[in-house]
Structure 1
Amino acid sequence: LLFGLILADVLTDRALSRLPVDKALHIEVTGYQWWWQARYLSDDGAPAFTLANELHVPVGRPVVVALKAADVIHTFWVPNLHGKKDMIPGRDATIEFRADRPGVYRGQCAEFCGYEHALMAFLVTADPPAQYEAWAARQRLPAVTTLDTVAARGREVFLTQDCARCHSVRGTPAQGSIGPDLTHVASRQFLAAGTLANNRGNLAGWIVDPRTLKPGTAMPPTRLPPEDLQALLTWMETLK
């Protein structure tokens, strides 16, 4: 049985190593304690857009992921698409895969990287090509300008609190680079690298006291008056 598994592993690894990468989609993924930044590149290699903890790829098209680690060793692992690949600070690596069927594939950091290693997950969604292109077109757009007065108040709260120092939202003055890009955060399925379902209640709890939900996270608590918190949540729900 062990010999059979070894043989299957060798044959699978050889097949993956021969995967053609012509006209591949290129993504740069950086591992942080404890989340993932994904920067999509256009065909000429220029940055197109950035998101966090969730990837979308077109079915049938090869994907080349450049891997980096910002702090400690992480490991990029999507079991249904490829094997593990270490991400070592100061050393760049790449991994290539292709999703042949639509679906949602769970990924995980597979190298112990600190206190919240077990809560460092991500999703890879394989979309039909036309659906992927529509998704990518939306991701390239800046945040929408809302005419709702409550949402507008929430935008002001975001820009005047510490949020804008750590996070960026394209189309606003917020250009922070410490935390995830939030331009289209409302379109994501999860918060905090797969820890919480993305809904209003979890988002409120994450803003107010993230360390009770994910101990060890670098994000500090943000205590807001109730009306400011509700306005901020309303605005963030427009970031789709």
Structure 2
Amino acid sequence: MKRLASTGFGTACVLFLQGCSGWQSALDPKGPAASELAWLIWFFTALCAVIWVLVMIALATPLMMRSRDGAEPLVLDAGADHRKLRVVVIAVGLTAVIVVGLTLLSFFANRTLAAIGSDAALTIRVTGHQWWWEVRYEDATPSRILTTANEIHIPAGEPVRLLLTSTDVIHSFWVPSLSGKLDLIPGHINVLDIKADKPGVYRGQCAEFCGAQHANMGTFIIAEPKEKFDAWWNDQLQPSGPPASDEAKAGEDLFLKRPCVMCHRIGGTPAGGTIAPDLTHIASRRTLAAGTLTMSRGNIAAWIADPQGVKPGSHMPVVELNGDELNAMVAYLEGLK
């Protein structure tokens, strides 16, 4: 029985510690903002644990002490009352000191977070939609402004400023390994500065309930060396290439003749919709539907054929296609890299 209890305790500890790491954990920081927040979390937790233990000791001590034999319960003990008063005063004083100290720690942590993006060279506007992320890379040269969706590429080791807003309801942008969460509010811009210490892929999530598919509103921040990031940006600015096969060409013709063209944009084609994700280089992304499906030919087909089955409540309508038309459309879209 003792061995079983020990094994169970060890298993529980392992499972608990697994939650402290991973690509979506606030306790596995990969940037200065997340590191500052993780330090605060651990410090607050440790301090609260110590306080709880001291309070439990203070409660248990008088319960375990035996009263003096023969002592008259109604007789006042001035010495004992004085000691109790002193304990209460000390406890109140320590409480005030702890509250003030934690407030100051929070203040200095916020000041540290605010300084991260003070010299940011890259500004990205992130707009929340139900249920996907519009990502716009700002640049002083209009021809270099880039709009994409759901994935955010950044140069590793450099601060980046995110301008957060929404077009419909309140969303909340949260990439735990890189920063704290911040709301996206319609008609208002909030500023969030992030920095990834090293290259990697960091998953994010909408952290404010925003409707039926709130849980399927994910994002990925992909931190790359500066040279690789610049090459990615330059590649994304290019229009889509011509279809590589007759089937893909037929798919392009279908895309331009069906309702898809009213909502989506594909650079280099007449498709210029702005109310749904830009598809110019959709096949270069890791996922579909804001992290709901991994990018593959089969998942592209599933998403086109039955978007409501994949993401109920999404604003993408069903487009009636027969088998050959669906294959042609998929062939075209999987070539948009």
Structure 2 residue 101 is matched with structure 1 residue 58: no
Distance 1:197 1:191 in 2: 6
Q: Does 1:41 align with 2:171?
A: no
Task: Confirm or deny that 1:76 pairs with 2:119.
Answer: no
Distance 1:28 1:19 in 2: 17
Paired residue secondary structure (1:14): helix
Aligned counterpart for 1:2 among listed residues 30, 45, 48: 45
AA aligned to 2:149 is: A
Q: Among 281, 289, 302, which residue is 1:184 paired with?
A: 281
Give the TM-score, by structure 2 length.
Answer: 0.68
Give the drift of 1:14.
3.1
Q: Secondary structure at the match of 1:118?
A: helix
Provide the secondary structure at the position in 1 that maps to 2:308: helix
After superposition, residues 1-240 of structure 1 pair within 5 angstroms as: 1-2=44-45, 4=47, 12-44=109-141, 48-240=145-337
Structure 2 Cα separation of the partners of residues 233 and 96 of structure 1: 37
Aligned counterparts of 2:122 and 2:191: Cα–Cα separation in 1: 13
Q: Whole-Å Cα distance in 1 between the matches of residues 180 and 117 of structure 2?
A: 17
In 1, Cα distance between equivalents of 2:120 and 2:183: 25
* Post-superposition CA distance 1:32-63 (Å, at most 9, x none): 01000001112457761111100000011111
| 1:47-96 CA distance string (max 9 Å, x none) | 61111100000011111111111000000111111111111111111111
Contact 1:56–1:125 (CA<8 Å) still a contact in 2? yes
2:117 touches 2:160 (CA, 8 Å); kept in 1? no
Distance 1:44 1:160 in 2: 33
How far does residue 2 in structure 1 lie from its aligned partner after superposition?
Answer: 3.3
Higher relative contact order, structure no. (Cα contacts within 8 Å, ≥ 6 residues apart): 1
- Measure the CA separation in 1 of the matches of 2:298 and 2:165: 33
Higher strand proportion (structure 1 or 2): 1
Contact 1:31 1:74 in 2 (8 A): yes
DSSP 3-state at the match of 2:145: strand
Higher helix share: 2
Larger Rg: 2
Contact 1:39 1:47 in 2 (8 A): no
Q: How far apart, in 1, do the equivalents of 2:245 and 2:255 lie?
A: 15
Cα 1:18/1:217, change in 2 over 3 Å: same
**Mapped contact 2:158–2:195 kept (Cα < 8 A):** yes
SS in 2 for 1:224: coil
TM, length-normalised to structure 1: 0.94
- Cα distance in 2, alignment partners of residues 64 and 157 from structure 1: 39
Q: 1:101 to 1:150 in 2, by over 3 A?
A: same
Match for 1:78: what amino acid? V
- Provide the aligned length of Structure 1 versus Structure 2: 240
Partners of 1:4 and 1:131 lie apart in 2 by 43
Structure 2's unaligned 5+ residue stretches are 1-43, 49-101
How far apart are the structure 1 equivalents of 2:332 and 2:294? 18
State the secondary structure of the residue aligned to 1:64: strand
**CA separation in 2, counterparts of 1:103 and 1:175?**
32
CA offsets 1:152-204 (integer angstroms, 9 cap, x no match): 11100100011111100010000111210000000000000100001111111
Identity in percent: 46
Contact 1:38 / 1:50 at 8 angstroms: preserved in 2? yes
Give the CA deviation at 1:147.
4.6
